[in-house]
């Protein structure tokens, strides 16, 4: 495991990091070729001559100085030294004359930091370690210095040692020493560097920082509130630089980008962080195709060299098709098991809940087919799928085994007639051992439940050893033609923006804005990778009147809060559009990390806490005074109040 991460890290660091493929002119071209092919100098300006991980037989005889942490010691003869780049074996001198060196290296506790100087020698024949990239050599030490000792650690710094996430987050600075975290963060840095290179050097984008102290704005996610010294006045942390980047277009900075920190107070969600990073982009005089090509080129250019290259252009799918075939707006297209409308097969059904659904005007019957389901799924699996559908979607799901004759004596399944069974087999191309999961109801609801079950089935089958989603495959997809508005969740009679209120309507649907706004499609596009939304954007409204109408009349928002933007649109705003890529999620998928917290140096816990420093933390009343704030403690929070000056206990 370790050697696999290490070799990937080393390969990534020591191979040229990609090639400039675009035609660029003159000296810029030469500079770029140089910068993109250069192997970074890893030991400039510091006490070491080399990294622990880089030494090979080609270094034999060289005098080197290394700095690192003590990873292992064996019989007071060998020491394994570690830095971010890898491990190297150091031979502890045994002769009397080097007694002081031996003492340092034998007495320093594990994870102490040492500096050693010596000669690179080859290991005696038969003692090479082919699993270690530096396994052919060792260091014959002449001098050593203990730079700092290490006390007893809360966990061992070895990737294979299991630790809870809470403990990792509490001691994040130790967790960062793991090769896995080193790999993730260094890969992230390299990809961002390549993105900057692509955007700024190849395509003339300007990197502009926008404020993080902003104000409340309508629509979108919930914002974090920041008190100010003016009574009753608050800043907000921006959920994205959306308004600023549009204003930059009005200001003539017509190709903007930023590695932007965004903040959303959305409570705890497993795959979200209250603060996260976007590659935020905006351009003037651009259409959807322009933005899509830019992003395809950006990902292709910044893609790690140790992965299969990105193939462009990415396929695209309309929102309607994504919902109908995959039950979601972020389909995982690495595997089939698509949703099929089988309403016509069941027009004369005797099965009650199907009959019921089809008697309604919007009623449908839908199904997915799990190939080899009868072979790999157990009865309890199917039952748990049905329970999930019932508990979370209030939907009935019927399992049918059209060819395997294993209906578990279900009376409902038995009432499926022979011609319905054979029509189902034909329509869904069902093979031996195929299991059909069937549900009925309104189109969107039936698709949503089957979309969820499709993913659950893939998990179940993969847990049984089938490979449905090749882990080496990166399946990008554009989802387009979203509706401009959706019914508000809490009040379906009202509308909310499907993306955000600045998204332009689809040109062919503008005439419906005044009559049937729900039918209007938008110029919003999402980028999906392996079933995860990794980016989204839109062509914007640049006409102040249209923007005002959408905000005030259709979305019922207070336009005064956006008067600065509306005014700017009135002062010759160019047509513009943009996109933001969710950097954390993208890197998480590229590295195959189990959570976005594994690609963020100092993430918040699941509950939004910093377990290392104990943020958010309480403040004594006198510190709140300048902000005109008083805490109104909930009745049961005596403990909280008295914890103001207590030592901190992390989440378990
Ligand atoms: N600001 C948008 C978001 O954060 C992205 C965009 O429309 O460019 O989702």
DSSP string computed for 485-543: EEE-SS-TTSEEESS-TTBPBPGGGGGGTTT-GGG-BBSEEEEEETTEEEEEEEEBP--
CA gap 19, 35 in Å, rounded: 10
Quickly count: other Cβ atoms within 10 Å of residue 413's Cβ.
Answer: 19
Q: Which residue, 463, 486, 507, sits at the end of a domain?
A: 463
Residue 531 falls inside a structural domain: yes
Residue nearest to atom 9 of ligand 1 (CA): 536
CATH of the domain at 372: 3.30.1360.30
| Beta strand pairing call for 255-263 and 340-341 | unpaired
Strand partners, 398: 438
Specify whether 232 is located in the same domain as 262. Answer: yes
Residue 291 falls inside a structural domain: yes
Residue 330 falls inside a structural domain: no
* 18 Cβ contact list (under 8 Å, min separation 6): 36, 194, 301, 302, 303, 305
CATH of the domain at 593: 3.30.930.10
For ligand 1, whether the C-beta of 68 sits within 6 Å is no
Q: In ligand 1, which atom is closest to the CA atom of 239?
A: 4
CA of 197 to the centre of ligand 1 (A): 22
CA gap 534, 580 in Å, rounded: 9
CA of 292 to the centre of ligand 1 (A): 14
CA of 578 to the centre of ligand 1 (A): 8
What is the 3-state composition of the chain as percent helix, strand, coil, each rounded to the nearest 5? 35, 20, 45
Q: In ligand 1, which atom is closest to the CA atom of 503?
A: 7
* 462 Cβ contact list (under 8 Å, min separation 6): 468, 469
Comparing CA positions, the residue from 96, 94, 114, 117 lying closest to residue 104 is 114
Walk across the sheet containing 363-370 and list its strands. Answer: 340-341, 363-370, 435-442, 397-400
Specify whether 197 is located in the same domain as 241. Answer: yes
Q: Is 79 within 8 Å of 72 (Cβ atoms)?
A: yes
Specify whether 401 is located in the same domain as 541. Answer: no
Pocket test for ligand 1, best of 219, 256, 264, 280 (most atoms within 8 A of CB): 280
For ligand 1, whether the C-beta of 579 sits within 6 Å is yes
Specify whether 479 is located in the same domain as 455. Answer: no
Looking at residue 29, what is its pLDDT? 39
Phi, psi of 416, rounded to the nearest 5 degrees: -80, 125
Specify whether 481 is located in the same domain as 504. Answer: yes
Specify whether 7 is located in the same domain as 148. Answer: yes
Residue 507 falls inside a structural domain: yes
Residue nearest to atom 6 of ligand 1 (CA): 537
CA of 429 to the centre of ligand 1 (A): 41
CA gap 430, 157 in Å, rounded: 51
Specify whether 273 is located in the same domain as 339. Answer: no
For ligand 1, whether the C-beta of 242 sits within 6 Å is yes
For ligand 1, whether the C-beta of 538 sits within 6 Å is yes
For ligand 1, whether the C-beta of 536 sits within 6 Å is yes
CA gap 321, 367 in Å, rounded: 15
For ligand 1, whether the C-beta of 578 sits within 6 Å is yes
Residue 18 falls inside a structural domain: yes
Pocket test for ligand 1, best of 219, 240, 245 (most atoms within 8 A of CB): 240
Residue nearest to atom 4 of ligand 1 (CA): 240
Pocket test for ligand 1, best of 238, 256, 580 (most atoms within 8 A of CB): 580
For ligand 1, whether the C-beta of 522 sits within 6 Å is no
DSSP 227: E
Judged on CB neighbours under 10 Å (0-12, 13-18, 19+), 595 is: middle
Residue 487 falls inside a structural domain: yes
Residue nearest to atom 1 of ligand 1 (CA): 242
Specify whether 491 is located in the same domain as 626. Answer: no
Extract the tokens encoding 224: 């974090």
Q: Which helix (H) or strand (E) holds 168?
A: helix 165-170
Comparing CA positions, the residue from 554, 583, 528 lying closest to residue 318 is 528
Domain total in the chain: 4
Looking at residue 644, what is its pLDDT? 52
Instruction: Looking at 2-79, list the stretches that DSSP marks H as alpha helix, in order from N- to C-terminal side.
Output: 2-14, 26-37
CA of 456 to the centre of ligand 1 (A): 29
Residue 158 falls inside a structural domain: no
CA of 8 to the centre of ligand 1 (A): 33
Residue 134 falls inside a structural domain: yes
Residue nearest to atom 8 of ligand 1 (CA): 579
CATH of the domain at 63: 2.40.50.140
Specify whether 233 is located in the same domain as 146. Answer: no
Specify whether 7 is located in the same domain as 60. Answer: yes
Instruction: Going from the first residue of the chain to its last (652 residues), give the mean pLDDT of each consecutive group of 10, the final group possibly shorter.
Output: 43 34 35 55 96 97 98 96 97 96 97 98 97 97 98 93 95 96 97 98 98 88 94 96 98 98 84 94 98 98 95 98 98 97 90 90 94 92 96 93 65 76 89 92 96 97 94 95 93 93 97 96 98 98 97 95 96 98 98 95 93 95 96 75 51 46
Specify whether 439 is located in the same domain as 371. Answer: yes
Looking at residue 436, what is its pLDDT? 93
**Residue span of the structural domain in which 639 resides:** 619-652
**Residues in the chain, how many?**
652
What is the DSSP code string of 135-148? Answer: TTEEEEEEEEEEEE
Looking at residue 14, what is its pLDDT? 34
pTM of the model: 0.90
Looking at residue 12, what is its pLDDT? 42
CA of 594 to the centre of ligand 1 (A): 25
Specify whether 141 is located in the same domain as 223. Answer: no
For ligand 1, whether the C-beta of 210 sits within 6 Å is no
């Amino acid at each position: 495991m370790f050697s696999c991460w290490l070799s990937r890290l080393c390969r990534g660091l020591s191979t040229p990091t990609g090639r400039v493929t675009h035609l660029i002119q003159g000296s810029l071209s030469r500079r770029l070729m140089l910068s993109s092919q250069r192997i970074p100098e890893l030991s400039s300006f510091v006490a070491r001559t080399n990294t622990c991980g880089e030494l090979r037989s080609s270094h034999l005889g060289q005098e080197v100085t290394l700095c690192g942490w003590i990873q292992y010691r064996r019989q007071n003869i060998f020491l394994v030294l570690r830095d971010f780049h890898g491990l190297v074996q150091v031979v502890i001198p045994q002769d009397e004359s080097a007694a002081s060196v031996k003492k340092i290296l034998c007495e320093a506790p594990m994870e102490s930091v040492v500096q050693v100087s010596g000669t690179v020698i080859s290991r005696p024949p038969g003692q090479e370690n082919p699993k270690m990239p530096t396994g052919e050599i060792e260091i014959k030490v002449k001098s050593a210095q203990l730079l700092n000792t290490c006390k007893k650690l809360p966990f061992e710094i070895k990737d294979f040692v299991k630790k809870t996430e809470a403990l990792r987050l509490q001691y994040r600075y130790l967790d960062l020493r793991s090769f896995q975290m080193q790999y993730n963060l260094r890969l992230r840095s390299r990809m961002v560097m390549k993105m900057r290179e692509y955007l700024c050097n190849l395509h003339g984008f300007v990197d502009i920082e926008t404020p993080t102290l902003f104000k409340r704005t309508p629509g979108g996610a919930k914002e974090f509130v920041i008190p100010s010294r003016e009574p009753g006045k608050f800043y907000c942390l921006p959920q994205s630089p959306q308004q600023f980047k549009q204003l930059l277009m009005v200001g003539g900075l017509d190709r903007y980008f930023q590695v932007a920190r965004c903040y959303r107070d959305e409570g705890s969600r497993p795959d979200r962080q209250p603060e996260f990073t976007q590659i935020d982009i905006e351009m003037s005089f651009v259409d959807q195709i322009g933005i899509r090509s830019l992003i395809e080129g950006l990902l292709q250019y910044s893609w790690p060299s140790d992965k299969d290259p990105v193939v462009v252009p990415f396929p695209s799918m309309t929102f309607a098709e994504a919902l109908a075939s995959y039950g979601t707006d972020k389909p995982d297209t690495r595997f089939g098991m698509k949703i099929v409308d089988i309403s016509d097969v069941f027009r004369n059904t005797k099965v009650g809940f199907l009959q019921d659904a089809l008697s309604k005007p919007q009623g449908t019957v839908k199904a997915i087919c799990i190939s080899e389901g009868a072979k790999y799924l157990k009865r309890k699996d199917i039952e748990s799928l049905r329970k999930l559908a019932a508990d979370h979607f209030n939907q009935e799901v019927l399992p049918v085994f059209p060819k395997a004759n294993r209906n578990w004596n279900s009376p409902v399944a038995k009432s499926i007639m022979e011609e319905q069974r054979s029509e189902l087999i034909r329509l869904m191309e069902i093979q031996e051992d195929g299991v059909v999961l069937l549900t009925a109801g309104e189109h969107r609801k039936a698709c949503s439940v089957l979309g969820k079950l499709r993913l659950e089935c893939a998990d179940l089958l993969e847990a049984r050893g089938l490979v449905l989603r090749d882990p080496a495959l990166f399946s990008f997809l554009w989802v387009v033609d979203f509706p401009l508005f959706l019914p508000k969740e809490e009040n379906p009679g009202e509308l909310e923006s499907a993306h955000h209120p600045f998204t332009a309507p689809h040109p062919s649907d503008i005439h419906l804005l005044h009559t049937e706004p729900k039918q209007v499609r938008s110029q919003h596009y999402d980028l999906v990778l392996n079933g995860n939304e990794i980016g989204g954007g839109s062509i914007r409204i640049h006409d102040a009147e249209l923007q005002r109408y959408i905000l005030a009349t259709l979305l019922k928002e207070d336009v005064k809060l956006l008067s600065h933007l509306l005014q700017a649109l009135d002062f010759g705003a160019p047509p513009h559009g943009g996109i933001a890529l969710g950097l954390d999620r993208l890197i998480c998928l590229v590295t195959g990390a189990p959570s976005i917290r594994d690609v963020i140096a100092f993430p918040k816990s699941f509950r939004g806490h910093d377990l290392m420093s104990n943020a958010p933390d309480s403040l004594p009343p006198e510190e709140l005074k300048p902000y005109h704030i008083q805490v109104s403690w909930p009745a049961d929070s005596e403990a909280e109040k008295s914890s103001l000056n207590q030592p901190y206990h992390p989440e378990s």
